[in-house]
Amino acid sequence: MPPIKEFFVDPNRCIGCQACVHACSECDTHKGQSMIHLDYVAPGRSTQTAPTICMHCDSPTCADVCPADAIKRTDDGRVMTARKPRCIACSNCVLACPFGVPKMMTELDLMMKCDMCYDRSSTGRTPMCAAVCPSGALFYGTREEIERRRPNSRPVNQFQFGGQKITTLVKMMVPREATIDRIDATDAMHDRPPADLVLLNIFDDEISETERES
């Protein structure tokens, strides 16, 4: 029996090259659309980016709120794009997903999302985004491979959103010494923003005080 391959995300390694964004659209099941969200961690303060893909929840909220039963989860845990014949484009899934993953493609009247390149991963091949990621922020392989490559990190697949605990198929890499068994998504909401405002004097020294006030 071949070793089981898993998907690992390590946001700290993202270099913002957008290779994953472009490669995602080449997946046969995505109809030319990119399902990757490349987000800025601290807009206005840093150029650091992080990729957001579908985490493929064990109990997907997107499917739970779909009134048309259009979103299905495969036997191996992948949560698929809404089925075209059933999707009514209500956007319930877009609003409900705690990770902000589903995209409502208005021109198609269809919700689309990362399906881990099902045409590839279901046959053991690497999803397009992980295949082209030069820094290893997105990695698809066995648990033994990731432990050998990242001896100072370990995978976590439980997330806390307020009173809701979510277990996912995709794993997030955290520092090995971190004493956590889940990632609390609300922790950062209580952090005070850093005092790093830069005040620029946009006035010429020769302008009078009266002119400045006017």
For 156-189, the pLDDT digits (tens) are: 999 998 888 999 999 999 999 988 888 887 776 6
Question: Are the beta carbons of 102 and 52 closer than 8 angstroms?
Answer: no
pLDDT value of residue 214: 46
**Whole-prediction pTM:** 0.84
Residue 194: which pLDDT band, with cuts at 50, 70 and 90? low
pLDDT value of residue 208: 47
Report phi then psi at 149, rounded to 5. -80, -30
How many beta carbons lie within 10 A of that of residue 167, not counting itself?
12
For 115-160, the pLDDT digits (tens) are: 999 989 888 899 999 999 999 999 999 999 999 999 999 999 999 9
Question: Are the beta carbons of 71 and 40 closer than 8 angstroms?
Answer: no
Question: Are the beta carbons of 51 and 11 closer than 8 angstroms?
Answer: yes
pLDDT value of residue 173: 94
For 57-109, the pLDDT digits (tens) are: 999 999 999 999 999 999 989 999 999 999 999 999 999 999 999 999 999 99
Question: Are the beta carbons of 71 and 93 closer than 8 angstroms?
Answer: yes
pLDDT value of residue 29: 80
Residue 190: which pLDDT band, with cuts at 50, 70 and 90? low
Domain 6-187 of CATH type 2.40.50.180:
no
Domain boundaries, the chain: 6-187
CA distances from 148 to 4, 14, 144, 153, 178 (A): 16, 19, 6, 10, 18
Within 13 Å and on the Cβ side, how many CA atoms surround 167? 4
Residue that wins the pLDDT comparison between 31 and 177: 177
| In the chain, beta strands by DSSP E | 6-9, 37-40, 49-52, 103-105, 110-112, 138-141, 153-161, 164-175, 183-184
Q: Among candidates 115, 142, 122, 129, which has minimal Cα distance to 6?
A: 142
Q: How far apart (Å, rounded) are the C-alpha atoms in residues 136 and 121? A: 17
Q: Which residues contact 116 (CB under 8 A, 6 or more apart)?
A: 7, 53, 54, 56, 78, 127, 170
